[in-house]
Chains A and B, each alone.
Chain A
Amino acid sequence: MEVISFLIPISLFLGAVGLIAFVYTVRSNQYDDPEGDARRILNDEWDDKPKP
């Protein structure tokens, strides 16, 4: 059963990574325009180089 001393911290760490990633998306306004962002990805305007 020693294995759980690794497994529990690892699972908590992975969960926390997910939570932090979600918090980051909320704080950087990524849910402000879900419809527009879904369409923008189909845009081929800045495919070659990033938008300046």
Chain B
Amino acid sequence: MATATARPPSAAACPGCVATPTEPARPIPEDVQLALSLPTIHCQACISKVERALNAVPGVQSARVNLTLKRAMIQAEPEMRADALIPVLKAEGFEAHELDAGALSVTGSDKAGRELLMRLAVAGFASMNVMLLSVSVWSGATDATRDMFHWISAAIALPAIAFAGKPFFESAWSALRVRRLNMDVPIVLAIVLALVTSLWETALSGEHAYFDAALTLVFFLLAGRYLDHRTRAIARSAAQELSALEVPRALRIEDGVEHEVAVADLRVGDLIRVRPGGRMPVDGEIVEGQSELDRSLLTGETVPVYAEPGTSVSAGEVNLTGPLTIRASAVGSDTSLHQMADLVAVAESGRSRYTSLADSAAKLYAPGVHILSALSFVGWYLYSGDLRSALNIAAAVLIITCPCALGLAVPAVTTAASGRLFRKGMLIKHSTALERLAEIDTVVFDKTGTLTQGTPELTNLDGIPHEIASIAVGLAGASSHPLSRAVTQAAEAAGIKPAEVSDVTEVPGFGTQGMLNGQTVRFGRAAWVGAEQGVHTAAWLSVDGADPVEFQFNDALRPGAEEAVSSLIASGKQVILMSGDTTGAVQALAERLGIADWLAEALPQDKAARIAEMTEKGQRVLMVGDGLNDTAALTAAHVSISPATALDAARVASDIVLLGTDLSPIAEACDVAKKATRRIRENFRIATVYNVIAVPLAVAGLATPLIAALAMSTSSITVSLNALRLR
């Protein structure tokens, strides 16, 4: 597994590592084969119980629990399967899910984060030392002592900045190479100019050296970078965990025997067994078996479709009742599931590139600073004719205006806001998602699986005679079909006992039948029991000779859907419902939730086109959807949200993932996003105020390293504290 080996074996690229004792990093087991997600563990007792239980299983070499990630990594013999370990943990009382160790590999060792932390530590160490030396200079050291202190500062600052400032140098260089300015260009210019003039001053035993300012600048900016990186790393690891929960395996039939293989190993023409409840791994044609298919994630239809030999199936559909054998006709990237990706690519190219607040601030700021400092250099050079003092003043202007606070302004706020939303069950995946969320004025919802749970709910139980209902419950109990489960649930809630039905058998694709007092009873599709299919989703119960009785179903609303919709409407946003489901179903739901604007039987292209059209009219659209048919729309929208139950493709396409089942945080997220954006702007303003006060001093040649240090630290701290008000 690539978990641990992603790190180069000898990471001696950094000076800090050369100084490290030669002891190698604690070896993370290189062949971690299994990863389990343990959502319920929370204490020391859980850790030892889980580890003891797992280590006791023969074949397990070692198991280690990570409580922070709520995960267990298990090193085991090659033939060990997670299915064998999950029951062991269940017996101990822990819920466990298998994670795809391959999909987790990137989170295993967060190399970039570690590197940033190392640079932050070096910058912190160096700036503290240099600051101490500078304090003694400010408090009156003179002559040879001052020169010595300056030389020592230089000896610390130069290597420390060369190492710690590398991200800024790289980013500034890559911007300059394409002839553009970003925030890092003035930063790098300030650092380099400060070092050069300070060295020059020191060599001439001058009074002012800015080594401490250059280092503190790097330290504060790295702190901002690190915060930013950590927020995104947390979101990424949680998003990866969601995808890792879907382990891509399939049952291939070879010579009449089922073998479990990875989906990536399937080939066209393979025979694949799909058990009830399983998802189609590939596109293909049914060769054996009868069942019903749930296509809701692909098309938005809630009513299951009948399937028999000859029916073609697409990857992503869920098999409901009977086992099916399919012959693969397209695998991997040729499947219809992947072809949807082309549609997403088209939508992506149409998405207007959003400029983040930080970038637009940098665009205003960078040229201004450069011009100001160049002007003060030219002015002082013409006035005094002294190159040295003119250069000194130019450096002071650059350092004082340097965007220390600007560099912290955005990451500090997004960290605070993302942390708050994460506790509410929202995962901010994209770095500018919050800023974009703050701008929206239109919200588009998908129906099936987003506003509704995608599971049916029995609606007319009150209108059905008690004895008929109890027969239905007796038959439904034997089936795992969603409609049957809905009947069982509704009956339990109403306290209806199942009738004693004997010889219950499930006829895949049709329904269940059994014997009651010598009569055949059937519960299933309209055509099978001899009834007329209406507009509703329905199942029918027939007792020999009598008229069939209709059981009507409705798609159950997701918790919080009503609150989310009504508070979005109340805050003045236009709410639209777009679904691939039938007109009747969509209209009923729209009326129930009070949504005036709805679109039914929409193809994926239609959804994306409608959103693109609204965007063109200047509307900012938030798309909330979960299905494969929504991915193009999710990408086309200004910002997008998908629930955790969504298909992987939809989650990847969206900026924000809802972790819980509840939809109500959406409205709150909009408020938090607005507040966060306001806070970011406030931070920019605070930073500007500090500049407005300090810059005239610098231009007038009155700035000293002490003033620079004070301005830099106070503005950075004010900005961070302002951001913390969001928590």
Contact = CB atoms under 8 A, between A and B. Distances in A.
Interface of A: 1, 4, 8, 11-12, 15-16, 18-20, 22-24, 26-29, 31-36, 39-40, 42-43, 45
B710 interface: no
Given A18-B125, A23-B118, A36-B67, A29 B47 contact: no
A36 B48 contact: no
Nearest to B26: A28
B28 A29 contact: yes
B125 A33 contact: no
B364 to A, nearest CB: 37
Given A1-B145, A12-B129, A29-B28, A39 B16 contact: no
Given A24-B20, A29-B26, A42-B44, A36 B66 contact: yes
A27 B20 contact: yes
Interface string B25-57: 110100000000000000110011000000000
B48 A43 contact: yes
10 contacts: A1-B145, A4-B145, A11-B129, A22-B121, A23-B118, A26-B117, A28-B25, A35-B67, A36-B67, A39-B47
Contacts of B152: 8
Given A27-B17, A40-B44, A32 B125 contact: no
Nearest to B122: A19
Interface in B42-101: 43-44, 47-48, 65-69
Interface-centre pick from B23, B47, B145 (highest chain A CB count, 10 A): B47
B256 interface: no
A23 to B, nearest CB: 5
A11 B129 CA distance: 8
A46 to B, nearest CB: 10
Contacts of A36: 47, 65-68
Contacts of A31: 117
A13 B17 CA distance: 17
Nearest to B67: A36
B128 A15 contact: yes
Interface in B552-602: none
B493 interface: no
B68 A29 contact: no
Contacts of A28: 23, 25-26
B125 A26 contact: no
User: How many B residues touch the partner, as a band?
Assistant: 20 to 34
Interface string B649-667: 0000000000000000000
Contacts of A8: 152
Given A29-B26, A43-B44, A24 B21 contact: yes
B552 to A, nearest CB: 49
A42 B47 CA distance: 11
B67 A11 contact: no
Closest 7 A-B residue pairs measured CB to CB?
Answer: A36-B67, A39-B44, A35-B68, A33-B66, A19-B125, A28-B26, A35-B67
Interface-centre pick from B121, B145, B152 (highest chain A CB count, 10 A): B121
A26 B114 contact: yes
Given A27-B17, A28-B26, A15 B125 contact: yes
Nearest to B155: A12
Contacts of A45: 48
Contacts of A19: 16, 19, 121-122, 125
A26 B20 CA distance: 11
B261 interface: no
B132 interface: yes
A23 B65 contact: no
Given A18-B125, A19-B16, A20-B19, A26 B65 contact: no
B66 A23 contact: no
Contacts of B47: 36, 39-40, 43
Nearest to B65: A36
Contacts of B66: 32-33, 36
Contacts of B28: 29
Given A1-B145, A32-B66, A23 B20 contact: yes
Nearest to A23: B16
A33 B19 contact: no
Contacts of A40: 44, 47
Nearest to A24: B20
B14 to A, nearest CB: 9
A35 B125 CA distance: 26
Contact of A29 (B21, B25, B69): B25
A32 B114 contact: no
A26 B118 contact: yes
Given A18-B125, A29-B26, A32-B68, A11 B132 contact: yes
Contacts of B67: 33, 35-36, 39
A33 B25 contact: no
A32 to B, nearest CB: 7
B447 to A, nearest CB: 40
Contact of A23 (B17, B44, B68, B145): B17
B26 A23 contact: no
Given A11-B129, A18-B125, A27 B48 contact: no
Interface-centre pick from A19, A27, A40, A42 (highest chain B CB count, 10 A): A27
A27 B121 CA distance: 13
B78 to A, nearest CB: 24
A28 B114 CA distance: 11
Given A28-B25, A29-B28, A39-B47, 6 more contacts: A4-B145, A19-B125, A22-B121, A23-B16, A27-B11, A32-B68
A42 B44 CA distance: 7
A37 to B, nearest CB: 8
Interface in B94-148: 109, 114, 117-118, 121-122, 125, 128-129, 132, 145
Nearest to A42: B44
B387 to A, nearest CB: 33
B647 to A, nearest CB: 31
Contacts of B109: 29
Contacts of A12: 129, 156
Contact of B129 (A15, A24, A34, A35): A15
A18 B132 CA distance: 16
B121 A20 contact: no
